[in-house]
Structure 1
């Protein structure tokens, strides 16, 4: 092997519910070193996709200060949430789930018609008041289905019914909206660029849309899913009439309960896969430009992995001639589906039939062992001496 190209990059997402991306990357790197020793250089590059962990990944790459501020959860209860601000004060970072995340409202019965994104808007208001010129908004993991109306309301927008009264927050009020009043919108919104990090590319409406796919995760039954979808469709029509922008045609507009539906036409927000946002911030393309192998992964490698998640982003950013191997807690795609996605192979860390709680206990060790297997297989084909072979030779 050409030693000038002996770089292996490990770039996983978190294994949600078990280990952070940083912990998984360290375990992968340890496994590669177990197999190959000093024969390669291993670069650890923990990633995130716009959901859990994205704020930390971006804050680390931008050397940003993390601050706790007051806000509200998805059902209006006070809580404290983290935001971050770059050292030059120009870039603010929000992880929406810090405010309206699903875990924060799981202590009570889920309320899919009531839950809103108002608390996320309060975080944006804080950063606007603090003078940032760009907001990186990571929206995965939300509990709301309000099309972004709560977010805009926190910034001063008013969603009015036919009698000029403000409608209820949450999905429950969407069908009553007749017009949008932006006269009291925060004065700095027009000066600030908002970049929205998406963790999925689902459309706003229909069988793959915000309500149908994610509504049940947020507590919506069949009737509520239909009501949410109809309400968001009505909102989209109002926005189209008032701004000329058809948000139903925008890939990713269905993320986070349709949060982008209001942000794109009313605030001029730019949508971007969250994994791409993080990779751009850390210079991932340069890190893997001369890599001979890239390892990535997440808790479950399935069809959603190919729709805006870290795995898809890693494949896009990695040179076409460099193999990308996925290590996951669960592999739900067939070998053919994996190859069609440009992934060389996908391996589960499970040594055999096992429950989630059993795998959770030993996640780090299992990831390390699996990475060592991958590195050994790579070495066999590339002619790289493994650690054991070197020791035997000596």
Structure 2
């Protein structure tokens, strides 16, 4: 029976460390573990409790870091339990099963690792692979596209070897084909190059790469950090910012969640509120570590409404370094069922005392008031006149899938340029702020 008839599981797999192998079935499409993914076999893991030493996992290093990234994160405890044996950039592959119908009355099950040797490959199967050395079976009758795909699998000319059955050594594709098909293809490629559509991620990455010494901050309503910490840790934009200001973490004060690549600085959540909570995380490669800051609250003795304001939202702060200047970052979440008056009392209680300082301050988070509506512009005026904070984010740009602008960034004595990003796992859009003195 062919491999296609057995659920893409081969009858036998010969294992040789250091050799390339190709995944034969879609293990996890979202994680890039799909049919055709190629990597190098690094380690064969046996069941230590089995007298027959049955193989339980194959550890493969794929050419692209995006292949198996989520699975590698989930497997880190196992990797750390075997230091010197397993490596964090190796991806574990386990056995899979497939039901096989032999006849109308006979069925069986095959349990096998979903890989085959990738040493001999057709050009079509090599698509997407990258190799330091290849031997290509070249023939002048091959299509230009086929030759291009085959030769472009190798990383350098030093690793390219051509062979053929006729032992002929003339290369016939050097000048390119002038067939109508190829001319049409070149024309289409030129058209696409002239009308290239840059993705939002590319635009955001360009902004971050050109930020220089400025601090990059991502404000984000995560709608449960416990559920989405892996989503953050595998997003190439979110993992490259300096600081994360998260709201709706849904984490009680005694519950901590690790985000790979980041250090938790501070978090807070009201007792008894479920869909609430805020936190500040800093990238762990930044040499100057942020420190938690205790909010200097306005005394409730000034107004009895101030004493009730703490039930309206969550707030926490950290002192970060922006271009060698110590800056106060304040993360805010205000409950959606609060009135505008209650929001103002909450912010007055927590921010009024800072009107007396010249320290640069950034206040960011989910304020749950749609400032794109004309009737809510007085809230922005209140922040400016009453608390001396300028709105840095664009009130005309929606920060939710519903078209409302709820996630805001305010500044004082510091500049912030804000740009929206996207996240598939939250109703809110993350907002990048490039902060500079």
TM-score, with structure 2 as normaliser:
0.28
**More helix by percentage:** 1
